[in-house]
A = this chain, B = another copy of it.
Amino acid sequence: MVGNTFGRIFRVTTCGESYAGAFRKNLDIPKELFGGLMTIVDGVPPGIKLTAEFVQNELDKRRPGVGRLDTPRKERDKVYIFSGVMEDDITTGAPVGMIIPNGVIEDEHLNKHKSYKELIRPGQAGYTFFKKYGQYADNIGAGRASGRETAARVAAGAVAKAVLDDMGIDVIAFVTEIHGIKAGNIDYETAKANYRKNEVNCPDLEAAELMIKELEKIKAQGDSCGGVVEVIARGVPAGLGEPVFDKLEATLAHALMSIGAVKGIEFGAGFEHARMKGSESNDTPYYDESSGRVRFKTNRAGGILGGISNGEDIRIRLAVKPTPTINITQDTVNMYKLTNVKESFNTRNDPCICTRIYPVCEAMVRIALLDALFMAKGYRALSRNIDGRWDKL
C-alpha cells in the first residue's frame, strides 16, 4: 500500500536500487554480492516447479548490452532464489524470495552520477523524488525510479509464468511502433512465430528492419525516441476481474501504468472506439459448436466485457515515451540552488526503451492475471493433496 507491493492474493513486493551497496565499506562478504534488488512473491501455490534457470531466462530478455542498439552498460542480472523452494526446486506455498545483486559498481560511473545530483534531468524523476522525499532522496542514478527496478518485477513475473504455464495461459509482448514506424496488425500466431527474432522484438520482420535503421540514426544523434508495445494474453478463462473498482482493465492498467516510461494504455480497439458507432464497436457473439462455448466474431473489446474477461485474447497497447536521458545539451535547473543551467547528461542509455520494456510488460500482465485468477477462484484451488487430487480442504 505504500507503493512497493502489487497484488491482493498473488502479491509481489520489491526493493532495491542501482547503487545501494556501492557506498558500503568493510563488509565481510564479497562486494559483488552486495546491494541490488530483492523481491518477495507471496501467494505462490505449493507444488510448482521453479528453477533459477527458469527465472534467469526471463531476466535475460531485459538484459542490455546484447544488441547493437542497447546501452553499453553491463548489468549483472544474476538471480538467486533465496527461499520458498525446497528439494527438487518445488515450491512449498511459502513466499518465494529472490535476490539480484548489483555487482561491483565502477567508481568512475558512480562519480559521474554523483556530479549530477543537484541537477534536474529533464524528463526524469529526480525532481519529483526531491520534492517528495527531500534532500535524503536517492538521487544517484534514479533510485527507485530507475529502470533497474524492473528486474525485480521480471523475476517475480517468472514465478507467475511458472503457474500460468501449468494452466495453459500464455502472455506475450512485442514492439509494434518505434518513432512513428508502425508494424502491421500482429496476431497471436505471428507474435509467437517471430518472438525475439530481431533486436527490436517486432514480429513484423520488414517493419523491424526499418525500426532498427531509425534507431541507429537516432542513436547517432545522441537522441532517443518513443514507441508502442503490445501484449496478448491467450487462454485466459472467462470470469476474471472484480466489479466495480477492480475491473480487469483497471487492475491491468494499474499494473502496466506503474512501469516507468508508460504514458498510455488501450484495450482492444482503444481510442479507435471514439470514431466508431455502437453497431461497429459491439463484438458479435456466437455459439461455437467445436469448442462448446460462446465465442466472438471480432475482438474490439480486447477480451474484456464489463471489466470481466470473456474468454477471447486480452489485447493491450502501451504508449512508451522516449528515454529521457539524451546526449544533447538541455536547459535545466539546479534544484538545490534554484538556478537555471545547461547540461548534457552523458550517461549510458538505450535509444528506445521499448526494446527492453516488453519483458516487464509480460511480467506485470502475468502477475495481474494470476492475482485476478486467485481472487476469482482462490489460490488454494491449485493445492493438491498427497494423492495428487485437489485438496478438499
Indicate if the CB atoms of A93 and B47 lie closer than 8 Å. Answer: no
Among A275-332, those with CB < 8 Å from B are 275-287, 294, 301-302, 304-311, 319-326, 328, 330-332
Indicate if the CB atoms of A23 and B120 lie closer than 8 Å. Answer: no
The size of the chain A interface, using a CB distance under 8 A, is 176
Indicate if the CB atoms of A253 and B239 lie closer than 8 Å. Answer: no
Indicate if the CB atoms of B2 and A242 lie closer than 8 Å. Answer: yes
Known: A267-B263, A307-B260. A5 touches B5 (CB 8 A): yes
Closest approach, in angstroms, between the C-beta of A27 and any C-beta of chain B? 8
Indicate if the CB atoms of B322 and A273 lie closer than 8 Å. Answer: yes
Q: Residue A2 contacts which of B43, B228, B238 (CB distance < 8 angstroms)?
A: B43
Indicate if the CB atoms of B333 and A294 lie closer than 8 Å. Answer: yes
Residues of B within 8 A of A83 (CB): 15-17, 20-21, 35-38
Report whether over half of chain A's contact residues are helix, strand or loop; otherwise say mixed: mixed
Q: Complex: how many Å from CA A142 to CA B308? A: 13
Indicate if the CB atoms of A132 and B33 lie closer than 8 Å. Answer: no
A347 part of interface (Cβ distance < 8 Å): no
Indicate if the CB atoms of A245 and B5 lie closer than 8 Å. Answer: yes
Q: Complex: how many Å from CA A243 to CA B140? A: 16
Closest approach, in angstroms, between the C-beta of A115 and any C-beta of chain B? 15
Known: A40-B40, A278-B223, A287-B339. A393 touches B380 (CB 8 A): no
Q: Residue A92 contacts which of B138, B237, B323, B379 (CB distance < 8 angstroms)?
A: B138
Q: Residue A322 contacts which of B1, B90, B278 (CB distance < 8 angstroms)?
A: B278
A13 part of interface (Cβ distance < 8 Å): yes
Q: Residue A263 contacts which of B14, B249, B277 (CB distance < 8 angstroms)?
A: B249
Q: Complex: how many Å from CA A358 to CA B383? A: 35
A172 part of interface (Cβ distance < 8 Å): no
Q: Complex: how many Å from CA A277 to CA B21? A: 34
A274 part of interface (Cβ distance < 8 Å): yes
Given contacts A125-B306, A144-B244, A149-B244, 11 further A-B contacts (CB under 8 A): A14-B244, A20-B83, A86-B138, A127-B285, A127-B310, A249-B257, A263-B270, A278-B324, A281-B324, A282-B322, A376-B393
